[in-house]
Structures are given as C-alpha cells and as structure tokens.
C-alpha cells in the first residue's frame, strides 16, 4: 500500500466514522487486499485448496467491523488492529465450536464455509494460543496486544508502535518477550 493509499484509508475511515456510508464503498477496495493478507496469515496452516475459508474469514470480520455501533478509527493502523482482533475472535469461536462438536457437542446446522474454516486438528492449537494470550494479558496487556497485532494482524513493528502509542524499540522488546513467554506456556515448561 502506497503512502497515498494510506492517507486515503485514514481519510475514508474518518468520513465513514462521521456517518458517510459512501466512504465505506470507497474504503473496501483499498483495505481488501490487506484484510485478505491478514486472513491468509490466519489460514496458513490450512490446505491450500481452502480459498473460500480465507474469504469467509474476511467477510465475517468485515461484518463485525461494519456492525460496530462505535466505529471511530484513529487511523489505518487502528482499523487493521481492530480487524485483527475480530479475526482472532472469529477463529477462536469457530475452533471452540469445532472442539465441542468433536467431543459430541450439540449438533447444529452450519454453513459450508463455517465447517471448513478451522480444521479439527488446528482447533486445539488456536484455543491453546488464545488461552495463553489471555494469560499473558493478565500479566501484561500490552505484550498480549503486540502479539495480536503482529501475529494475527500482520502489522509491522512500526504500525504496531503507532497503534499502541509506544516506540518501535518497545514493540520489538515486547515481541521478543511475548514469543519466549508463549513458547514456554504452550510447551508446558
């Protein structure tokens, strides 16, 4: 995304926040590729033929973002941070649902996209990571947000720093700490 595009995204986000629904129509083409890249990161370990799952994740996140009663975004980085948060929770909800179904949970009709979004094998990994991130947030909320923005959102160190209003050096330090902490948590050590 060029510097010009970044300015356009911020301007359109402000217009959309002020109630201009036409700004949303102009915004979507500018952010769709980045949202797709974020969703693809989430879906990296899924079989490559599952392209609809990435699209389903983008659409679910878009619906969550569009339906927010308060849609005030400070800038492009803030928008993508909120999108990353939405995608994380969509995946975790689906993973928990898949895990419950595997354990004999109540049967309910689901769409084909929902059924294939998260494999049963990945469901437990996603749930474990989410649980570990929740524990990390109890220890240090900012470090948990750094992981969410960097890992799930695919934001750069600079974008993460801008979103969290800290220096890039702080983000890099938090990122190193959080990766080590999560590895220890997830490996049971």
pLDDT digits (tens, 9 = 90+) for 103-153: 555 444 434 344 444 455 556 777 888 889 999 999 999 999 999 888 877
The three-class DSSP label of residue 30 is helix
pLDDT tier at 161 (50, 70, 90 boundaries)?
A: very high
84 HSE (CA, 13 A, CB side)? 26
Compute the Cα dihedral for 45, 48, 53, 59 and give only its sign: positive
Total structural domains in the chain? 1
- What is the C-alpha to C-alpha distance for residues 14 and 82, in angstroms, rounded to an integer? 15
- What is the C-alpha to C-alpha distance for residues 39 and 42, in angstroms, rounded to an integer? 5
- What is the C-alpha to C-alpha distance for residues 151 and 171, in angstroms, rounded to an integer? 13
Q: Is it the case that residue 68 has pLDDT exceeding 70?
A: yes
State the residue range of the domain holding 89.
3-187
pLDDT tier at 101 (50, 70, 90 boundaries)?
A: low
Higher pLDDT, 50 or 15: 15
With a pLDDT cut of 70, the percent of the chain lying above it is 77
At residue 116, the pLDDT reads: 41
At residue 157, the pLDDT reads: 92
């Amino acid at each position: 995304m060029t510097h010009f595009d970044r300015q356009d995204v911020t301007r359109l986000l402000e217009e959309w926040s002020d109630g201009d629904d036409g700004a949303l129509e102009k915004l979507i083409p500018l952010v769709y590729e980045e949202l797709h890249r974020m969703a693809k990161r989430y879906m990296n370990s899924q079989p490559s033929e599952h392209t609809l799952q990435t699209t389903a994740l983008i659409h679910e996140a878009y619906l969550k973002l569009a339906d927010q009663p308060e849609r005030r975004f400070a800038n492009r980085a803030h928008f993508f941070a909120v999108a990353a948060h939405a995608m994380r929770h969509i995946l975790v909800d689906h993973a928990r649902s898949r895990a419950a179904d595997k354990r004999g949970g109540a049967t309910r009709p689901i769409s084909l996209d929902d059924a294939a979004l998260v494999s049963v094998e990945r469901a437990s990994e996603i749930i474990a990571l989410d649980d570990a991130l929740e524990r990390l947030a109890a220890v240090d909320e900012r470090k948990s947000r750094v992981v969410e923005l960097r890992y799930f959102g695919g934001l750069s160190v600079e974008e993460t720093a801008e979103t969290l209003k800290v220096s890039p050096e702080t983000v890099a330090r938090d990122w190193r700490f959080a990766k080590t902490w999560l590895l220890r948590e997830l490996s049971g050590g």
